[in-house]
Structure 1
Amino acid sequence: MHGAQMVAFNMQGYGRSLWLMHGMFRANGGCGYVKKPEFLLKAGPHNEVFDPKAKLPVKTTLRVTVYMGDGWYYEFRHTHFDKYSPPDFYTRVGIAGVPADTIMKKTKIIEDNWIPTWDETFEFPLTVPELALLRIEVHEYDMSEKDDFAGQTCLPVVELRKGFRAVPLHSRKGEKYPSTKLLMRFEFV
């Protein structure tokens, strides 16, 4: 409970696990130190510890609106997604956290557009917002093959500020794209 702890991560490849780790450590200004919430540091009055599978009441609801995306035209070759037509983008938005909060939702597919406009709103009831990460992934729909990856980011829910935001996207390796962003709105209701 006292002193400094250090954890070494041994990540063997790129993917969702690494994206979640990057998201968690974006908290506290991205300095690499994230303090545990109080309920993880102290035992309860009868020496009980936090159980992530326990049924808890909803503390807050995060409302996320995905308006539009831009920047892929500058980041990728014009034949990267589809050889003969503009890409068909969709966005997956969800929560990674305790089992009761974990969910993913998907926007509609916007066909043949480098600057997709979704204008869709999703609500996420959160029982433990202190441990929740907002996951955002953009993919390009491909009818005949696996959908193409177009960007991702993970953001700690406790660090989100309400209002309109230009959310930068990252590559599979976690490198920030210079131009690719999503216009989003966050609200706590």
Structure 2
Amino acid sequence: MRLDSSNYDPMLGWAHGAQMVAHNMQGHAKFLWIMKGMYRANGGCGYVKKPDFLLRVGDPNNRVFNPSAPPPVQKFLRVTVYLGEGWSREFRHTNFDQYSPPDFFVKVAIAGVPADEVRKQTRAIVDDWLPVWDESFEFSLRVPELAVLRIEALEYNTTGVPDFGSQTCLPISELRNGI
């Protein structure tokens, strides 16, 4: 039950097989990005067919998918964050730090069923508009059909709240090997 008017997590409905036809999103934040990322799987048209395991009708054992008890690991995903480029063209040079170049780091996360959700991050590259991380992360996925890869670039801030740089969300089912 919800009492506020913030964005809700669309994964909750998707993992239980709900076909949502409308999203009432209140602002640009994580859950809106996840929703847009999931819909990239069908060209961004706003509809993605349910995975086959959620469409099973007449299962001989009457099994229903339980997102809290997902199957064993189905797939491994390795993500390498190489570098960040283009911020110096998009932001004023004093946008992040008043007297020095920004200190960027990248958060890489999986949105999906609870067992798949994990967050990792690169180290912060200090005072550089062209940061090079060359860091790899591996994720084990139990329900890759419902998983979305979240990538968010942030600027380290000594106040504790990082400044937003950029983000993207991509459906795991659409990812291919390579860069």
Residue 107 of structure 1 corresponds to 122
Is 1:80 the counterpart of 2:78 in the alignment?
A: no
Bigger drift between 35-44 and 103-112 goes to 35-44
Q: Normalising by the residue count of structure 2, what TM-score does the alignment of the two structures yield? A: 0.86
Question: What is the identity, as a one-letter code, of the residue corresponding to 1:30?
Answer: G
Residue 54 of structure 2 corresponds to 40
The structure whose RCO (Cα within 8 Å, separation 6+) is larger is: 1
Question: What is the identity, as a one-letter code, of the residue corresponding to 1:27?
Answer: A
Alignment length, in residue pairs?
A: 160
C-alpha distance 61-6 of structure 1, shift in aligned 2 (>3 A): closer
More strand by share: 1
- 1:68-100 Cα shifts (integer Å, max 9, x gaps): 010101111110000100000000001000111
Q: Normalising by the residue count of structure 1, what TM-score does the alignment of the two structures yield? A: 0.81
C-alpha distance 120-6 of structure 1, shift in aligned 2 (>3 A): closer
Of residues 143, 146, 150 in structure 2, which corresponds to 1:135?
150
Residue 49 of structure 1 corresponds to 64
SS of the equivalent of 2:32 reads helix
Taking the aligned partners of 1:153 and 1:55, their CA distance within structure 2 comes to: 26
More helix by share: 2
Taking the aligned partners of 1:94 and 1:153, their CA distance within structure 2 comes to: 11
Residue 155 of structure 1 corresponds to 170
Is 1:65 the counterpart of 2:80 in the alignment?
A: yes
Structure 1 runs of 4+ with >4 Å offset: none
User: Alpha carbon RMSD of aligned pairs, Å?
Assistant: 1.3
1:32 Cα deviation after fit: 2.0
Q: Which runs of 5+ in 2 are unaligned?
A: 1-18
